[in-house]
């Protein structure tokens, strides 16, 4: 799990560097898909922002041996992470239309 966290942190650093260097990429796909794209992007963005503190807290609970609380929170952290990962690919696909 620590290695997964390291790779997630590396992805975040590279993604933020790319966003800073190149700026936002406009949606240039079919106009009918724009509302769907914006809806998915909105949920993705909010959950991605929430996922960082959630994952850090879940990891901290495990390190501190608070496994009862960790076991209750980890499935939710995983679901949020999985949604963010999946919708990240979907958003990327929309931008390549």
Task: Return the residue matching tokens 């909010």.
Answer: 46
Count: domains in the chain: 1
User: Is 17 exposed, middle or buried, given 0-12, 13-18 or 19+ CB atoms closer than 10 A?
Assistant: exposed
- Walk along the chain (97 residues) and give the pLDDT tens digit of each residue: 899 889 999 999 999 999 999 999 999 999 999 999 999 999 999 999 999 999 999 999 999 999 999 999 999 999 999 999 999 999 999 999 8
DSSP structural state of residue 64: T
pTM for this one?
Answer: 0.85
Write out the two tokens for 48: 């991605």
Q: Provide the residue range defining the domain that includes 51.
A: 2-95
Residue pLDDT, tens place only, 33-58: 999 999 999 999 999 999 999 999 99
């Amino acid at each position: 799990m620590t290695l997964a966290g390291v790779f997630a942190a590396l992805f975040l650093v590279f993604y933020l560097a790319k966003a800073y260097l190149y700026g936002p990429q406009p949606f240039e796909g079919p106009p009918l898909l724009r509302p769907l794209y914006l809806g998915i992007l909105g949920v993705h963005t909010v959950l991605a922002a929430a996922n960082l503190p959630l994952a850090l807290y879940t990891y901290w609970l495990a390190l501190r041996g608070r496994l009862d609380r960790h076991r209750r929170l980890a499935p939710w952290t995983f679901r949020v992470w999985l949604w963010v990962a999946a919708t990240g690919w979907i958003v990327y696909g929309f931008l390549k239309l």
